[in-house]
Amino acid sequence: MAGEKNISGDLGNLAYWDGDAYAPIVCLTSSSMSSTLEMLEKVNMCNPGKTVRSPGNLTRSVAIEGEVIDTSDLGGPDLKASFDELFDLQKEMQDTKEPVTFRLSRGPLGYKYFDGFIEDLDDNYQAGEDATFSATLTVESDVSETDPNE
Judged against a pLDDT cut of 90, whether residue 140 lies above it is answered with yes
Domains identified in the chain and CATH numbers: 12-139 (2.40.30.200)
- Bigger pLDDT: 99 or 22? 99
**pLDDT value of residue 1:** 56
pTM of the model: 0.81
Compute the residue count for the chain. Answer: 150
What's the pLDDT tens digit per position in 63-84? 999 888 876 665 544 545 678 8
In the 8-state DSSP scheme, what is residue 65? E
**Residue 82 φ/ψ, nearest 5 degrees:** -55, -45
Residues 131 and 49: their CA atoms lie apart, in Å, by 54
